[in-house]
Amino acid sequence: MSKIQNLELLVVGGGPAGLSAALAAANYGIKVSLTEEREFLGGQLIKQTHRFFGSEKEYAGTRGIDILKKLIDEVNKNNNIEVLLSSRVLGIYEDNIVTILNDHKMKKYYPQSIIFATGASEKFLAFENNDLPGIFGAGAVQTLMNVYGVLPATNVLMIGSGNIGLIVCYQLLQAGVKVAAIVEAAPKIGGYSVHASKLRRLGVPILTSHTIKKAIGKEKVEGAVICELDSNWNEVKGTEQLIKCDAICLSVGLTPLVDLLKQRKVKTTYVSELGGYVPLRDENMETSIKNLFVAGDVSGIEEATAAMIEGQIAGLSVAKRIGKNSKDEIEERIEEAKNELELLRSGPVGKKIRKGLSKLGLNHGKNYNEKFSEEALDISHLMKTGVPSEENLKNKLPSEEKVFDKGPIAISECFQRFPCDPCVKSCPFNAISENGNINNIPYVDFEKCTGCGICVSKCPGLAMFVIHKNFSETTSVVIMPYEFLPRPHKGEIVKVFDREGKYLCDGKVIRILDGKFQDKTAAVSIEIPKEYYLQARNFKVEEGNHG
């Protein structure tokens, strides 16, 4: 056992919260040791190939893997941060001594402050045969595919429709894996509607009020039996159906990893809205033990953007306490971060988090504006099926049909209140507005819109389309976002689908914008028979059509 090393700040966990915490403190002169048990930094960000929602200030519109590159770059450039990889924190004791296993040696540290950003673990589900090979957690599927480039199966049944389940389904499809269906026990989809809609457009069924009864197979998964649930969550007899698949992916929630906190006797309490046992902590992320802070999923399950802001608050709070720099400036930055977090949580999707936080006695010092807690539209059909209702669509289309005569115009198929603004920020003509609140639904001002198509590539929810109704006497053009391989060629004939993934017609590719600016979300202009301009929302490149 080595002698004890003094530290100013130890950050445990190199995911988005830990990296942000380390940077926030180090930027104010604090010497930080950032410890990560794996041999690389990044936590879940390393698997996130999709673009993030949220505010542009907090990297919205940027892919998780690119956010990670920026954070790691900043960490590497910062002389105040020492990174300890392959370093597992094994113990934290009453005198705040921390033991870390590194390079087969147990080392002892005495940090002045600690920020725990240890993240979360996946929940499992009880059903018959759930130990068959071929049953994965969503995190494992993402690790296999996005970190190691290995396909988990050829046809996957997803259990759970939260954002992680929906995102993993989309990534499976991008990797060429079929998704048999998404099964969701709740009566509504758990994740953002835009994620669900893009899967429906790709033909993936989403079965809400359904559950898995058992996995089928001898040596490995060959299928699953699912059934319907009634409003009391009881099985509806006679509704069993066999789904053929060679893997079952479970995405049924996360639970905070609080083991080390419990070892240090940090007070915890069970809050179902936050994922399980969470530490009691104040609005500066400090726990019941002085100088011991938390950030990210360990403090309650939320999105990565919230984790990064919590990391900043914790890091800045440590910097303020140690006080090497202007406390006023740090305090100002803490307030800014708190306001940003409050804004992110202020819409309907933040309601659950707000309820959970209130059980910890937290509301960040201000009352949430509850008028933003209600959906502006009735999206019950959308949240049950992933497909917007006629009413929802009517609300987003021009009130007068003749507006379509003016030329190409953008249509936003984003109907839910959640914190996101890249569409607004991307439009050079200020044609998209959320009326001053990031949680509002975006609306297009058709007078201002030039149909340039910039927003089509910039929307992380793939919810922006441009429609040129009168492209010719008989045809319209729809510009659609496209994130699959192979890319179509100009002049190619493709199959065009509606919002439920049903075949509509053949279309001709007339333009592809797929440069650096589009950042892998191509904007593809497809010419179609005029009668389909309000339905055509997806296309597939025909196999064999492609050279």
In sequence order, what are the beta bridge partners of 465? 411
Cis preceding linkage at 486, omega within 30: yes
Residue 315 to residue 21: CA distance in whole angstroms: 4
Q: Is 61 left (phi over 0), alpha (psi -120 to 50) or beta?
A: left
Q: How far is CA 465 from the centre of its chain?
A: 21
Q: Which is nearer to ligand SF4, 66 or 283 (CB)?
A: 66
Q: Is 251 left (phi over 0), alpha (psi -120 to 50) or beta?
A: beta
Instruction: Quote the least distance from Cβ 476 to ligand SF4, whole Å.
Output: 15
Instruction: Quote the least distance from Cβ 163 to ligand SF4, whole Å.
Output: 12
Count CB-CB contacts under 10 A for residue 375: 16
Q: Which is nearer to ligand SF4, 277 or 429 (CB)?
A: 429
Does residue 421 contact residue 438 with C-beta atoms inside 8 Å?
A: yes
Instruction: Quote the least distance from Cβ 435 to ligand SF4, whole Å.
Output: 12
Instruction: Quote the least distance from Cβ 466 to ligand SF4, whole Å.
Output: 5
Residue 308 to residue 312: CA distance in whole angstroms: 6
Q: Which is nearer to ligand SF4, 85 or 512 (CB)?
A: 512
Q: Which is nearer to ligand SF4, 194 or 330 (CB)?
A: 194
Instruction: Quote the least distance from Cβ 463 to ligand SF4, whole Å.
Output: 4
Count of positions (residues) in the chain: 547
Instruction: Quote the least distance from Cβ 464 to ligand SF4, whole Å.
Output: 5
Q: Which is nearer to ligand SF4, 337 or 464 (CB)?
A: 464
Interacting residues with ligand SF4 (CB under 6 A): 53, 194, 410, 412, 414, 420, 422-423, 426-427, 429, 431-432, 442, 444, 449-455, 459-461, 463-464, 466
Does residue 51 contact residue 521 with C-beta atoms inside 8 Å?
A: yes
Q: Which residues contact 323 (CB under 8 A, 6 or more apart)?
A: none
- DSSP assignment of 254-323: EEE--HHHHHTT--EEEEGGGTEEEE-B-TTSBBSSTTEEE-GGGGS---HHHHHHHHHHHHHHHHHHHT
**What are the two backbone dihedrals, phi and then psi, of residue 398, each rounded to the nearest 5 degrees?**
-60, 145
Q: Which is nearer to ligand SF4, 28 or 465 (CB)?
A: 465
Residue 63 to residue 474: CA distance in whole angstroms: 39
Instruction: Quote the least distance from Cβ 461 to ligand SF4, whole Å.
Output: 3
Q: Which is nearer to ligand SF4, 96 or 193 (CB)?
A: 193
Q: Which is nearer to ligand SF4, 66 or 273 (CB)?
A: 66
Does residue 411 contact residue 371 with C-beta atoms inside 8 Å?
A: no
CA angle 489, 459, 64 (to 5 degrees): 95
Instruction: Quote the least distance from Cβ 518 to ligand SF4, whole Å.
Output: 13
- DSSP assignment of 376-422: SS--HHHHHHSS--HHHHHHHS-SSGGGGGGS-EEEE---S--SB-H
**What are the two backbone dihedrals, phi and then psi, of residue 8, each rounded to the nearest 5 degrees?**
-80, -55
Does residue 275 contact residue 254 with C-beta atoms inside 8 Å?
A: yes
Q: Which residues contact 505 (CB under 8 A, 6 or more apart)?
A: 496, 528, 529, 532, 536
Instruction: Quote the least distance from Cβ 252 to ligand SF4, whole Å.
Output: 25
Q: Which residue has the tokens 């989403």?
A: 206
Q: Which is nearer to ligand SF4, 139 or 422 (CB)?
A: 422
Residue 155 to residue 327: CA distance in whole angstroms: 56
Instruction: Quote the least distance from Cβ 131 to ligand SF4, whole Å.
Output: 38
Q: Which is nearer to ligand SF4, 101 or 452 (CB)?
A: 452
**What are the two backbone dihedrals, phi and then psi, of residue 115, each rounded to the nearest 5 degrees?**
-120, 120
Give, in order, the Cα–Cα distances in Å from 377 to each of 161, 231, 314, 388: 21, 23, 37, 11
Q: Which is nearer to ligand SF4, 115 or 410 (CB)?
A: 410
Q: Which is nearer to ligand SF4, 341 or 459 (CB)?
A: 459
Instruction: Quote the least distance from Cβ 342 to ligand SF4, whole Å.
Output: 19
Q: Which is nearer to ligand SF4, 92 or 410 (CB)?
A: 410
Instruction: Quote the least distance from Cβ 258 to ligand SF4, whole Å.
Output: 32
Q: Which residues contact 165 (CB under 8 A, 6 or more apart)?
A: 138, 158, 159, 182, 190, 191, 249, 251
Q: Which is nearer to ligand SF4, 194 or 316 (CB)?
A: 194
Instruction: Quote the least distance from Cβ 125 to ligand SF4, whole Å.
Output: 29
Q: Which amino acid is at 190?
A: G
Instruction: Quote the least distance from Cβ 488 to ligand SF4, whole Å.
Output: 21
